[in-house]
A and B are shown apart, each in its own frame.
Chain A
């Protein structure tokens, strides 16, 4: 009897650990992804996000100007017909590529717009994770006045 009770206790301890481990990973998803934001190159950020080498997709639209007069305020939006789970905005030639990442719960439309800083003329990448797969759209934005240094 006592033996059974012991093993029961052991099992509940294991399940407790698993649950707390699960909770921790949920919490971490919302925590600031330091490694990704400090990634210096596109490939580095792709790797940290688990995106590998994302394919270009016609289903993603990057709403951004062709020429940004002021690199400190460049409006960039991502829209897609896919059911996005995550979205990310990357600027190839910024000191750190990743500008912003969004987690889109069910019920929220696959549409996000924000404003970013660009140090110089660069390709801007709009990444979308849909169905567990990362896809992207690319657009070059010309910057006449940089917004990172000064």
Chain B
């Protein structure tokens, strides 16, 4: 199981600002190890964010997204919204974390 994400969601004026920090190496597939062998790519490929069970963002990442991906977006919502963030990486690993809009 991968490390937990940090999810912050703050409501202001009917808009919820969601900030997500995922914990993932996001190996690009371009780097080489000490022996000169290419390190295979390994990265988060899809991410889904739901608020109260409804999709608010779907994303797809390539290996060009930075290590420990950061994501910030806004949707129309309210305090107390239950936000569920899930990602799947290129090896099929999954992680889901929750937060409540404040």
Where the two chains meet, the residues of A that have a C-beta atom closer than 8 Å to any C-beta of B are 30-33, 37, 72-75, 77, 91, 94-96, 98-105, 107-109, 111-119, 147-150
Contacts and interface: CB of A to CB of B under 8 A. Distances in A.
30 contacts: A32-B46, A32-B60, A33-B60, A37-B60, A72-B67, A74-B66, A94-B64, A96-B64, A99-B62, A99-B64, A100-B59, A100-B61, A100-B65, A102-B58, A102-B60, A105-B56, A108-B73, A108-B75, A111-B72, A111-B73, A112-B59, A113-B71, A113-B72, A115-B70, A117-B28, A117-B65, A117-B66, A147-B66, A148-B28, A150-B31
Given A32-B46, A99-B65, A149-B30, A109 B74 contact: yes
A102 B65 contact: no
A143 B65 CA distance: 15
Interface string B40-59: 00000110100000111111
Contacts of B61: 99-100
A114 to B, nearest CB: 5
A33 B73 CA distance: 21
Interface of B: 15, 26, 28, 30-31, 45-46, 48, 54-67, 69-77, 90
Nearest to A94: B64
B58 A112 contact: no
Contacts, number: 110
Given A98-B64, A103-B57, 5 more contacts: A30-B46, A31-B46, A103-B59, A107-B77, A112-B71
Contacts of B77: 107
A102 B59 contact: yes
A84 to B, nearest CB: 11
